[in-house]
Amino acid sequence: MSPFAPPTASCCGIVSAGGPAAIAVVELRGPATADFIRRHLQARGVSAANWVDGDVRRCAFVDASGAAIDDVLVIVHAGPPNWHINVCLHGNPWLAQRCAELGNACGLATLPTNEAAGASTPASLEAEAADVLPSLLTYRGVAWLGRQVAALRSAVEQLLGEPATPGSAAACREIADRFEIVSWFTKPLRVVLAGPPNAGKSALANSLAGRPISIVSDRPGTTRDWTEADDDVEGFPLTWIDTAGLREPADEVEQAGAARTRDVLRSADGVVVVLDSTAAANEIARFVRCWEGPLPMAVGLNKADIAAATPAAPSVLPGEWAECAVVISARTGTGLDELRRQVLMAAGREPDALEAPAAWSGRQRRLLRLAADSISHKPIYKNYLQSVAHPDWPLPPCRGGLRQSD
């Protein structure tokens, strides 16, 4: 079926693969979807009567009595009267099953099995998005991908309507390169909290995680092994890793703890250095001098609640550390949001990039790069571009063994 052909009957089914995942996706199509929306989706914000193609809407998913079942995101691929929506639920298989059953009860037949989860070649951008949705870890990721279906299609249509120029090739490459954004939502950013003993790393880890993951004590050398906690920072998944303090080890166990900290530092995406801003300036300077890790994403000047009005720490930090220093208190929570923002910025999680069209599958990325490389052969360029937006489009003459399933 062409991705643009109106559905002939109302149907629904689970289109995400079975098994554990962050998100489960149920697809509903056809006029009877209106009944499902009326009975089972309570929009938070714009009412369903005003939804338009390309919208991503947050709703309460409720049963027939109005009792809440889940908090969901609805991607509107097509509005009334021939609705086509994806309901993105938390990845519990029971929730997806319940959603599909309630769809059936509203007169939506079960989707033909070849269109349900596991079909190897996506027939449309919508189906290709449904393949990726379950691996996204936050609703911000789901909302981003939901909007991308319309954004990618319209970017491709715009390129097809313009003369093929070097600027068009550059635009194709930019869209292809934004494929990286998928990993922002599928792989949590791993950020180590490192610093001298007693700086407040564990207290900070607990505050950031919102629950006690590490023992806090005024005895230096308390943390011996690393612990980690998942966080959702403005919709970006992130894992904080609390580590043993770094100093000349007092004993063998502490030495082993410091060695583990160095191992974790090597495999992480970045580090936040935590310093006790009430410590003597020469102690802080000595720690900075001996630091062998990467340039910090942020420096947390901790214990602001008891620090002097003008603590010594900032004045002894090298320029690059001072630039990313944030005054914080793990105890009161002061400065923690700013610290989180600083980390996101250092990791290049640019909210503006989410507004631009992006490839979200390896197939799309490869075709966009092939289109850019073929810019001087207009028919081939256009054929590759058509294939980006229409996965079932007959492929252009093969270069480099591109298969339908790539």
Residues that bind ligand GTP (CB under 6 A): 197-203, 216-218, 220-223, 244-245, 302-303, 305-306, 329-331
Question: What is the Cα–Cα distance from 338 to 158, expressed in whole angstroms?
Answer: 39
387 is in the binding site of which of ligand GTP, Mg ion, none (Cβ under 5 to 8 A by kind)?
A: none
DSSP reduced 3-state for 346: helix
Cβ distance 111 to 15 under 8 Å?
yes
The token pair that represents 27 in the structure block: 């697809």
Looking at the Cβ atoms of 100 and 275, the one nearer to ligand GTP is 275
Closest to ligand GTP by CB, 198 or 387 = 198
Q: Which does 305 bind (CB under 5 to 8 A by kind): ligand GTP, Mg ion, none?
A: ligand GTP
Q: Provide the 10 A C-beta neighbour count for residue 360.
A: 24
Identified binder of Mg ion from the candidate list 10, 86, 202, 361, rule CB under 5 A:
202
Residue number, 186 or 222, with CB nearest to Mg ion: 222
Rounded to a whole number of angstroms, the minimum distance from the CB of residue 233 to ligand GTP is 20
132 or 304: CB nearest ligand GTP: 304
Among ligand GTP, Mg ion, none, residue 220 binds (CB under 5-8 Å by kind): ligand GTP
Q: Tell me, what DSSP letter sits at residue 82?
A: S
Closest CB 254 distance from ligand GTP, rounded Å: 9
Helix H or strand E segment including 41 = strand 41-43
Bridge partners of 218?
A: none
First to last CA, the chain: 20
Which residue stretch of 38-46, 97-105, 131-139, 197-205 sits at the interface with Mg ion (rule: CB under 5 A)?
Answer: 197-205
Shortest CB 192 distance to ligand GTP, Å: 13
CB 284 within 8 A of CB 256: no
- The number of C-alpha atoms within 13 Å of 296 and in the hemisphere containing its C-beta is 26
Number of residues near Mg ion (by CB under 5 A): 3
Kindly tell me which of 173 and 224 has the beta carbon lying closer to ligand GTP: 224
Q: Does the protein bind Mg ion through residue 302 (CB under 5 A)?
A: no
CB atoms within 10 A of CB 330: 27
φ, ψ of residue 77 to 5 degrees: the values are -80, -35
| E strand segments, 46-136 | 56-62, 68-78, 84-90, 109-110
Alpha-carbon distances of 325 from 42, 316, 322, 343, rounded to whole Å: 44, 12, 5, 11
Q: Residue 303, by phi and psi: left (phi above 0), alpha (psi -120 to 50) or beta? A: left
State the nearest-atom distance from the C-beta of 252 to Mg ion, in Å.
18
Q: How many CA atoms lie within 13 A of 196 on its CB side?
A: 20
Q: How far is the CB of 346 from ligand GTP (least distance, A)?
A: 21
| Pick 48 or 199: Cβ nearer ligand GTP | 199
386 touches Mg ion by CB under 5 A: no
Q: Which is nearer to ligand GTP, 71 or 305 (CB)?
A: 305
Query: Helix or strand or coil: residue 205?
Result: helix
State which residue, 148 or 223, has the beta carbon closest to Mg ion.
Answer: 223
- For residue 225, the minimal CB distance to ligand GTP (Å) is 10
Six token digits for residue 175: 């869209």
Tokens 């909007």 identify what position?
A: 147
Residue 292 interacts with, from Mg ion, ligand GTP, none (CB under 5-8 Å by kind): none
Minimum distance, C-beta of residue 306 to ligand GTP, in the bound complex (Å): 4
Q: Are 396 and 373 in contact (CB under 8 A)?
A: no
From 16-24, 195-203, 299-307, 361-369, span contacting Mg ion (CB under 5 A): 195-203
Q: Which positions ≥6 away from 283 have C-beta within 8 Å?
A: 196
Residue 299 CB, shortest distance to ligand GTP, in Å, is 14
Q: Which partner, Mg ion, ligand GTP, none, binds residue 108 by CB below 5 to 8 Å per kind? A: none
Rounded least distance, CB 240 to Mg ion, Å: 12
Asked if 322 and 314 count as a contact pair (C-beta separation under 8 A), the reply is: yes
| 223 contacts Mg ion (rule: CB under 5 A) | yes
Binding partner selected for residue 330 from Mg ion, ligand GTP, none, CB under the kind-specific 5 to 8 Å limit? ligand GTP
For Mg ion, the binding residues (CB under 5 A) are 202, 222-223
